[in-house]
Amino acid sequence: MTHAASVPTPYESAAEAATRLSELTGVERHDIALVLGSGWLPAVDALGEATAEIDTTDLPGFSAAAVEGHSGKIRSIRSGDKNLLVFLSRTHFYEGKGVAAVVHPVRTAAAAGCSAIVLTNGCGGLKQGWQPGQPVLISDHINLTGTSPIVGANFVDLTDLYSPRLRAMCKEVDDSLDEGVYVQFPGPHYETPAEVRMAGIMGGHLVGMSTTLEAIAAREAGMEVLGISLVTNLAAGLSGEPLNHEEVLVAGRSAASRMGGLLSQVVTRI
């Protein structure tokens, strides 16, 4: 007689990862999760001293990081009376590991106790006047991946997905922050100039390759979501120059102190 090994659901896998996380970090529960996107790594030091740092691959369900500027580490940081769970990298949809792998950190954070998540990314900007190195609050999104992290008849409401409360809090910290609609393309290629024009006609202001699937999974899990994009480049066709990954890293380094200050002040208020 054959005996099928039972495969854990994504939610069970996240719960296992959260248990292992608390064992490895010695931190029983985390309060706020942060996912650092392209260009955001230099901002992490402003959040405080790490209580523990582990490799993502030490937790069940995580795979190794693949992009320069993304390190496959998770930091537990004590900030005031809060335990922050900081993912220094993410799995991108374009890696082809499946949507469940993309949102596994989000579900792990929820299982670890986090009631809010800050999703950051580096992206192309469409709005007139935006400059590389400028952080922008995500007000809403358009998901062009053609998929969802949710399977089955679970009709999750995405009204106000990007928390108005948390966005207002960011503006209290920095009233010069602008907002925009983030459009997730599947990648890994950048958009053509025609696709950038399409994104603008659709109502988009930011183009990137992450965040929307994670935000959906976070909302499904009942977390409050804050999305912040770092405009690292003007979207294709807008600057007259080709896009390259180096400008992403440069934008992150030059904006690190502003972004670090913003993140650290916001997490203390959440």
Instruction: Cite the active site residues.
Output: 191
Q: Which of residues 213-242 bind ligand 8IG (CB under 6 A)?
A: 232-233, 235
Residue nearest to ligand 8IG (CB): 124
Q: Which stretch binds ligand 8IG (CB under 6 A): 74-82, 85-93, 160-168, 207-215?
A: 207-215
Is the CA virtual torsion 220, 7, 111, 145 positive or negative? negative
- Of 37 and 72, nearer to ligand 8IG (C-beta) is 37
Q: How far is it, in rounded angstroms, from Cα 132 to Cα 112?
A: 35
Report the site for ligand 8IG in 28-47 (rule: CB under 6 A): 38
- Is 10 or 204 the residue whose CB approaches ligand 8IG more closely? 204
CB of 133 to ligand 8IG, least distance (A): 12
How far apart CA 195 and CA 10 sit, in angstroms, is 33
- For the chain, report the end-to-end CA distance as a whole number of angstroms: 54
In the complex with ligand 8IG, the residue whose CB is nearer, 10 or 122, is 122
Count of CA atoms in the C-beta half-sphere (13 A) of 82: 22
β-pairing, 134-143 vs 116-125, is unpaired
Distance of alpha carbon 265 from alpha carbon 257, whole angstroms:
12
Q: Which is nearer to ligand 8IG, 76 or 232 (CB)?
A: 232
Q: Which residue from 48, 187, 200, 260 is in contact with ligand 8IG, where contact means CB under 6 A?
A: 187
Q: Indicate the DSSP class of residue 205.
A: S
Alpha-carbon separation of residue 227 from 125, 146, 203 (angstroms): 15, 20, 17
Output the CA–CA distances (angstroms, integers) from residue 80 to 18, 31, 53, 84, 257, in the order listed: 22, 11, 18, 10, 19
Determine if 199 is a binding residue for ligand 8IG (CB under 6 A).
no
Q: Does 207 bind ligand 8IG (CB under 6 A)?
A: yes
15-23, 50-58, 183-191, 256-264 -> range binding ligand 8IG (CB under 6 A): 183-191
Interaction residues for ligand 8IG, span 97-126 (CB under 6 A) = 122-124
Residue ranges binding ligand 8IG (CB under 6 A) = 38, 122-124, 185, 187, 190-191, 207-209, 232-233, 235, 243, 248
